[in-house]
């Protein structure tokens, strides 16, 4: 059997970056290469119904080998990597018996993974660390989750003596751009409950997340020769800076934590004539979330009164909502995850997600779906890393959940 480490290293060799500017499903054709491979590997394990549909969703069922009926439980991970950093030509570094000190990722470019910046690294002293070479992201978000689910699938199909109920498996595209399960057919998937393997450090268990919205701002200026600009020029860049300055500084991501929401500017492209700005808006509390969206619109309205109607336009779109209210009526699935972690020697860390997962939208589609750790750190950037032992523990937790469902 191939280890979860070997599966992970193989999967990250595929560039699967999604593209939020493309409205197709999936947003990039290259995601389909890995998705097709996963469907073929599942079929090769003897899972007869493994298939990829027209939207890139891979679904498969490991049938129950029990005489009694138990609920079907699903495990889901996404294959795409974030647009924030390149996922092409990843060159992983494997550090065996990590010494608990700084890790030089790229000596030539002076890129170092520092314990002073990330003190949590020292908890993995003595383990095997997989890092980037400082030029790309690693892809542990979420190919660690993919590898863990695939390792469990291979184990179960290779060990028919292990008793289990129906196990459902799914891999999705485009999670990183908020469209991961827009066309996901929950009824077809067939699980009563599911878990996304898309969390970070060992022990993370999350059943509440941000309410989320995206905002695209367009500012129309008026350009002419600066020598003759008095009273005539409207510099859209200046208005864009003014707009950003009107949002509360203390509500930026770098100043928030826990249940605190934020406005996050993620793109700014401008000339005197025309500027576009992109934001994401996040808050766990629905009332505060709505207030943040209103504040953004109020700022836009103020600038239009100041510079002329139509100068600034805003497109504010909801992306997903806090899944807590959908999961709390089924809290036993959280309790099962806690039990499974403890049986694997993992201390559960129940906390809100300062982000979102496919599980949020799936929960609102009728499939309660908490999020479990996959083991990685520093997602979406060139300092991403994952300890091999963390992936191995996640694999054990999945198996324990399956076992607990079989015993109920």
Positions marked catalytic: 80, 175
Please count the CA atoms within 13 angstroms of the CA of 372 that sit on its side-chain side. Answer: 37
Q: What is the DSSP string of 376-404?
A: -BSTTSTT-EEEHHHHHHHHHHHHHHHHH
Residue among 326, 332, 327, 325 nearest 71 (CA): 332
Q: At what angle do helices 388-407 and 332-343 cross, to 10 degrees?
A: 120
**Cα separation of 394 and 200, whole Å?**
11
The CA distance from 341 to 67, in Å, is 27
Tokens of 33: 């290469």
| Residue-wise DSSP of 65-96 | --SS----EEEEEE--B-TTS--SS---EEET
Phi, psi of 189 (to 5 degrees): -60, -45
Phi, psi of 361 (to 5 degrees): -70, -35
For the chain, report the end-to-end CA distance as a whole number of angstroms: 29
How many other β-carbons are positioned within 10 Å of the β-carbon of residue 34?
24
């Amino acid at each position: 059997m191939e280890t979860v480490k070997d599966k992970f290293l193989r999967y990250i060799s595929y560039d699967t970056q999604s593209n939020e500017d493309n409205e197709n499903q999936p947003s990039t054709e290259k995601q389909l290469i890995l998705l097709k491979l996963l469907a073929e590997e599942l079929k090769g394990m003897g899972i007869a119904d493994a298939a990829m549909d027209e939207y890139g969703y891979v679904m498969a069922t490991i049938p129950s080998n029990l005489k009694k009926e138990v609920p079907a439980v699903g495990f889901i991970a996404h294959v795409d990597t974030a647009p924030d950093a390149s996922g092409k030509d990843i060159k992983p570094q494997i550090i065996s018996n990590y010494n608990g000190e700084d890790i030089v990722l790229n000596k030539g470019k002076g890129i170092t993974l520092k314990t002073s910046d990330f003190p949590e690294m020292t908890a993995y002293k003595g383990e095997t660390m997989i890092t980037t070479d400082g030029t790309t992201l690693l892809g542990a978000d979420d190919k660690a989750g993919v590898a863990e689910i695939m390792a469990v699938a291979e184990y179960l199909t290779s060990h028919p003596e292990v008793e289990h109920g129906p196990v459902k498996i799914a891999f999705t595209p485009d999670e990183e751009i908020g469209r991961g399960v827009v066309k996901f057919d929950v009824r077809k998937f067939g699980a009563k409950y599911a878990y996304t393997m898309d969390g970070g450090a060992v022990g993370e268990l999350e059943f509440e997340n941000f309410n989320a919205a995206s905002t695209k701002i367009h500012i129309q200026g008026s350009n002419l020769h600066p020598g003759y600009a008095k009273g005539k020029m409207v510099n859209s860049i200046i208005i864009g800076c003014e707009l950003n300055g009107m949002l509360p500084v203390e509500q930026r991501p770098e100043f928030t934590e826990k249940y605190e929401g934020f406005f996050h500017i993620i793109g700014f492209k401008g000339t005197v004539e025309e500027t576009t700005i992109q934001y994401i808006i996040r808050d766990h509390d629905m009332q505060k979330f709505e207030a943040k969206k209103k504040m953004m619109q109020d700022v836009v309205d103020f600038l239009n009164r100041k510079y002329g109607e139509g100068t600034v336009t805003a497109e504010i779109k909801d992306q997903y909502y806090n899944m807590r209210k959908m999961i709390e009526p089924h809290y036993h699935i959280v309790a099962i995850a806690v039990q499974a972690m403890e049986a694997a020697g993992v201390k559960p860390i129940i906390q809100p997600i300062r982000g979102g997962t496919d599980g949020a939208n799936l929960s609102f589609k009728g499939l309660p779906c908490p999020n479990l750790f996959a083991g990685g750190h520093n997602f979406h950037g060139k300092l991403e890393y994952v300890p091999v032992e963390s992936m191995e523990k996640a694999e054990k937790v999945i198996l324990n959940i399956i076992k607990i469902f079989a015993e109920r």
